[in-house]
């Protein structure tokens, strides 16, 4: 697979990365097979996080024996103090079976409180810089779900890379792509398939590949998926007129209040699988009725127990009015 320069890090990375979130949902042997297939296809960039359950351990098993210098490994921590960050980094190194990670991201810096924890004297940025000096991290980075916060962080010029959601629905981050180019930062595009909501991988990746200096980071859980996406990337010749029409249709259909399936709103005190409820209408559009009912009926049943307690509201990085959207989803489905 084609390689490209990853900003001022000068790392040579594959045109796409392998996202580690879904690996925590599949058995170890299947996860290992996915990672090894990605490596065989020429994908050398793997992105994971301490928060992704056993994803790091599965990746570590899969890359055991591979030449370390040929891999680009990125991980993250949501810690805000030195003790937590150190514990997470040491755990990541152990699980991955390596002495250093290429990119370490302060995870989900999306609000003022998290920003302050980064830049306070002796805060997480100071800790991260110390890890670079110690050789355990090569390049400091951050991830965010807020474009405006990301732009503020980028303008400090304290980081070598940024990760933001970017797809043809989440287009706000295009301005961050432009700033990353100006600052010569690496850019990782999370949620290239909208958290699984965008049905046509071809359209999704052809949109992203028009930005020649970003790295889409799809979460993959099967060998078939990584083969399909790699083939799309290798064959991509840009957006077609049909692609543009499909993009316009989906933008209109999804609107500005769609759930990104990040699940940061969880856990719900009532056990409501919020993303499944908010995406239920899409599920019924994409699957036959019998399959859709199997996928969402239990979620919808739980949703009727919503007390509108608001626990989910400050957790949502997209500031969605979740209780209201749950009611709207139930009302819409009840009338169909």
Is 52 tagged catalytic?
yes
Reduced to 3 states (helix: H, G, I; strand: E, B; else coil), residue 14 is strand
Q: Which two tokens stand for residue 296?
A: 């969402």
Q: Which two tokens stand for residue 64?
A: 């055991």
Q: Say if CB 228 and CB 16 are below 8 A apart.
A: no
Distance CA 326, CA 322 (A): 6
Q: Say if CB 17 and CB 215 are below 8 A apart.
A: yes
- DSSP label of 219: B
Q: Say if CB 89 and CB 124 are below 8 A apart.
A: no
Kindly give, in sequence order, each residue whose CB lies less than 8 Å from that of residue 143, ignoring residues fewer than 6 positions away. Answer: 76, 105, 106, 107, 108, 109, 162, 163, 164, 188, 190
Reduced to 3 states (helix: H, G, I; strand: E, B; else coil), residue 159 is coil
Q: Which residues are catalytically annotated?
A: 52
């Amino acid at each position: 697979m084609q390689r490209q320069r990853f900003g001022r890090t000068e790392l040579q990375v594959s045109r796409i990365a392998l996202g580690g979130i879904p690996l925590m949902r599949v058995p170890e042997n299947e996860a290992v097979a996915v990672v090894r297939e990605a490596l065989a296809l020429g994908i050398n960039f793997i992105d994971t996080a301490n928060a992704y359950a056993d994803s790091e351990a599965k990746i570590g098993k899969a890359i055991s024996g591979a030449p370390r210098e040929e891999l680009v490994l990125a991980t993250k921590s949501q810690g805000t103090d030195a003790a937590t960050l150190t514990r997470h980094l040491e755990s990541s190194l152990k699980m991955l079976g390596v002495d250093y990670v290429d990119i370490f991201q302060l995870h989900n810096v999306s609000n003022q409180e998290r920003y302050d924890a980064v830049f306070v004297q002796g805060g997480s940025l100071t800790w991260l810089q110390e890890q670079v000096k110690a050789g355990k991290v090569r390049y400091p980075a951050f991830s965010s779900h807020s474009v405006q916060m990301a732009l503020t962080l980028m303008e400090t010029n304290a980081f070598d890379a940024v990760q933001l959601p970017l797809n043809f629905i989440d287009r706000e981050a295009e301005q961050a792509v432009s700033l990353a180019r100006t600052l010569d930062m690496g850019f990782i595009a999370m949620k290239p398939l909208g958290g699984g909501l965008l049905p046509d991988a071809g359209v999704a990746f052809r949109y992203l590949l028009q930005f020649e200096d970003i790295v889409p980071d799809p979460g993959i859980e099967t060998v078939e998926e990584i083969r399909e996406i790699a083939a799309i990337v290798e064959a991509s010749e840009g957006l077609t007129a049909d692609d543009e029409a499909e993009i316009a249709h989906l933008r209109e259909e999804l609107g500005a209040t769609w759930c990104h399936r990040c699940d940061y709103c969880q856990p719900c005190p009532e056990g409501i699988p919020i993303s499944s409820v908010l995406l239920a209408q899409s599920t019924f559009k994409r699957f036959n009725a019998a399959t859709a009912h199997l996928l969402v009926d239990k979620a919808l049943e739980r949703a009727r127990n919503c007390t509108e307690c608001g626990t989910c509201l400050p957790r949502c990085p997209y500031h969605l009015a979740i209780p209201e959207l749950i009611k709207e989803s139930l009302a819409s489905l009840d009338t169909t």
